[in-house]
Amino acid sequence: MTLTPHRSGALLLAAVSALFPLFASSAPAAALADPQPRWAHRHTTEEITRFLRSFYGSHGPSEQDRVHRVSQLLKDKQAHTPETDVLLCRPGTPESITVGQATAMPSAFVGWATVTTTWPFGATDTFTAYVRTDSRPIMLDDVICAG
């Protein structure tokens, strides 16, 4: 009587490898993943501050910035409140704008900074401008007016 080696385990492994190549692969799963996941780079507080200062400038965002550097959420908000400028929290053109240093909460994928606008006759307003830290390209995601 001749004994043949037991091969059912080898056949099962071959079948599993054919059906589920990632499970049977000797390469670690991380090596098979996208080498540059979308969240790999999050905007830093310095990048957010630079963006917001560039976006708002001295007198408010340009028409091009309003089209290309603003989230759909803000565009929809503006469409529903045409009597005010949702990016500046009131209609008109401010005399000056100051953007404070940004803060970020990486776990929430959000960064923000306080924006202060100066209007004619010395009136000032403040609001908070929000940026998603994983947005590509970086863009203004929301504005919350103070009053």
Asked if the bond preceding 37 is cis, omega within 30° of 0, the reply is no
Domain extent, residue 12, equals 8-35
Residues 56 and 119 placed together within one structural domain of the fold: yes
Specify the 3-state DSSP secondary structure of 143: strand
| 99 vs 24, higher pLDDT | 99
Summarised one tens digit per residue, pLDDT across range 63-78 is 999 999 999 999 999 9
Domain total of the chain: 2
Residues 60 and 104 placed together within one structural domain of the fold: yes
Q: What is the CATH number of the domain that holds 53?
A: 3.10.450
Residues 52 and 70 placed together within one structural domain of the fold: yes
What average pLDDT is seen over the chain? 82
Residues 128 and 97 placed together within one structural domain of the fold: yes
Report the alpha-carbon distance of residue 143 to residue 74 in Å, rounded.
8
Q: What's this model's pTM, rounded to 2 decimal places?
A: 0.72
Range 29-66 burial, b when 16+ CB lie within 10 A, else e: eeeeeeeeeeeeebbebebbbebbbebbeeebbeeebb
Residues 71 and 109 placed together within one structural domain of the fold: yes
Residues 79 and 112 placed together within one structural domain of the fold: yes
